[in-house]
Amino acid sequence: MSLFENTLKQIRKASELMKLAGNIEEVLSHPERVIEVSIPILMDNGKLRIFQGFRVQHNSIRGPYKGGVRYHPKVDMDEVKALSTWMTMKCAVVDIPLGGAKGGIVVDPKELSARELEQLTREYTLAISPFIGPEMDIPAPDVYTNPQIMAWMMDEYSKIKGRNVPGVVTGKAVEIGGSLGRDSATSQGGVYVLEEYLKSIGKEAAGLTVVVQGFGNAGSHVARLLHDLGMKVIALSDSKSGLYCPDGLLPEKAITCKAEKGKVGECAPEGQKCEIITNEALLELECDILILSALENQLTEENAAKVQAKTILELANGPITPEADEILKGMGVDILPDILSNAGGVTVSYFELVQNQMNYYWSLEEVLAKLKPIMTRAWRTVKDNASKYDCTYREAAFITALKRLEAAIKMRRGE
C-alpha cells in the first residue's frame, strides 16, 4: 500500500466535494523538489556503511518549506512524499505562512552509538545544506529524532554558513534558541481541538476514558494533559508492548518509568490490576477517546471494524487508511484528523522560527496564548466546512487547506 497514494486519494476526495477548479489538484499531486542522498559513515567497528537519506519539498506557495526529519528503518521515498504533502495541508489548515516538506534517513537509531548518530546527522545536514535555511526549508524533529539531533543539525549548518543560524531547524532545546512550549505543542494543540470538539457535542471532558497508542513525544504529553483535564487514561503503548489498567494510570509516573525501564509495558502502578497487552488489542479497547500517536497505517480495513472508541484523535500522521476511514465513518466514529489535530507542533515550530529571526523570545504563557486561538479558529473553520459540505472532519480539513492553497496559487500564478 502506497502512503503517498493514500494522501492523493484524500486530496482527490476533498477536491471532488468542493469542486476544486482547474489544475490545482494536479499541481498539489507532485512535490516541487525531491532530494535523495547517500551518507557514508565510518562505523565504530571500522567498517564503512552507506545510509540513504531523503528530503522532499512538496509545496512552497504559502511560504518556506517546513517539516520534520524521521529516523526509522522503514523510511522510504513514498512515505516521505506523503508526509511532506500532509505538511503542506497542515500549515494551510492552521493558516500559518509555511509550505510543506519532510525528511528521513533509513536507520534504526537505537542500533547506533552516540558518535555514529551525531556523524550521520552532521553528514545528512551537509548533504541537504544547499536546499535548507530559515527562508527556504526548516527541518524539525519527527519519529526518533529529538532536540539533540536538531542541535547537531543547527551546529553543522552554522559551521557551513560561518555564522550562527538558529532558525535553520526548529524543535531545538531552549538553551540554543528553542521555543518554550515546543516539546508539548503537538499534544497541546490536539487537546485544544479535542476540547472544542467535546464542547460542540455537549460532552464534559472529566471522566472520559482515554487509550493512547505510542508513548513518545506526542503520546506522553497528550496523556499527561488529558489526565490534568480529569480524563481517565486507561491504556498506553510503545513499540514493544501495551499496558491496560482499567482503573486508570498516572501518566507522569509512566513517563518517568518509561525513561528508566525503556518499556511502558513494565510500568504498571503498584497494587493495581493491570494487563500487558499487544498493540493490536490496545486499538480495540472499549474507551471514549482513542489517541493514535505512533505511526501511519495503524487502523486498516483489517481492524477498523473492531474499534470501540467513539472518537479518535490523530496525533500521528496518517494512522488511518482511507479504507478504514470509510468503515469508521459507517460506524459513526468521529475522527479528529491529523492535519488539524497535530498541527500545534508545526505552529509552535513557526513561533520558534519567528523568535529566532527576531532574536527575541516569548514566555510560555505568550506561546500558549498565541497557539490556542490558532487551533480553535482552525477547528471552527473545519467544523463549518464539515456542515457546509456534509462531510467528515477529515474531508473538511482537506477542503479548508485546499481553499487556502487554491487562493494562493491563483493569486501568484493565475492557474
C-alpha radius of gyration, the chain, whole number:
21
141 or 337: CB nearest ligand NAD: 141
Q: How far is CA 357 from CA 158, 232, 254, in A?
A: 14, 41, 37
**One of 59, 60, 184, 186 touching ligand NAD (CB under 6 A):** 186
Residue nearest to ligand NAD (CB): 216
Angle between helices 77-93 and 343-358 (to 10 degrees): 80
Interacting span for ligand NAD (CB under 6 A) from 21-29, 105-113, 195-203, 212-220:
212-220
Looking at this protein, which amino acid is placed at residue 115? R
Least separation in angstroms between residue 203's CB and ligand NAD is 25
CB 339 to ligand NAD: min, Å: 10
Instruction: Please report how close the Cβ of residue 207 comes to ligand NAD at its closest, in angstroms.
Output: 26
Identified binder of ligand NAD from the candidate list 69, 143, 233, 336, rule CB under 6 A: 143
216 lies in the site for ligand NAD, by CB under 6 A: yes
For position 217 contacting ligand NAD by CB under 6 A, the verdict is yes
Cell numbers linked to 54:
531523503
* Binding of residue 294 to ligand NAD (CB under 6 A): yes
The answer to whether 213 contacts ligand NAD (rule: CB under 6 A) is: yes
Residue 295 vs 409, nearer CB to ligand NAD: 295
Q: Which amino acid is at 133?
A: G
Among the listed ranges 43-51, 115-123, 314-322, 355-363, the one in contact with ligand NAD (CB under 6 A) is 314-322
Which residues are CB-contacts of 249 (< 8 A; sequence separation ≥ 6)? 223, 233, 234, 235, 236, 243, 267, 269
Query: How far apart are CB 281 and ligand NAD at their closest, in Å?
Result: 11
State in angstroms the smallest separation of the CB of 191 from ligand NAD: 14
Catalytic residue among 13, 81, 102, 383: 102
| C-alpha pair distances (Å), 46 with each of 12, 109, 114, 121 | 50, 18, 15, 18
CB neighbours of residue 44 within 10 Å: 11
**Rounded Cα gap, residues 125 and 154, in angstroms:** 9
Q: Residue 220 and residue 188: Cα distance in Å, rounded?
A: 11
Q: Give the chain's end-to-end CA distance (angstroms, integer).
A: 32
Check residue 101 for interaction with ligand NAD (CB under 6 A): no
Does 67 help bind ligand NAD (rule: CB under 6 A)? Answer: no
For ligand NAD, the closer of residues 238 and 288 by Cβ is 238
Q: Which of 88, 179, 209, 293 binds ligand NAD (CB under 6 A)?
A: 293
Contact region for ligand NAD (CB under 6 A) — 28-36, 129-137, 209-217, 270-278? 209-217
- Whole-angstrom CA distances from 109 to 85, 214, 215, 241 are 25, 17, 17, 19
List binders of ligand NAD among 340-359 (CB under 6 A).
Answer: 342, 345
Whether residue 102 lies in the annotated active site: yes
DSSP characters over 254-311: HHHHHHHHS-GGG-PPTTS--EEE-HHHHHTS--SEEEE-S-SS-B-TTTGGG---SE
What is the binding site for ligand NAD (CB under 6 A)?
A: 141-144, 186, 213-219, 237-239, 279, 293-295, 315-317, 342, 345
**Which active-site residues does the annotation give?**
102
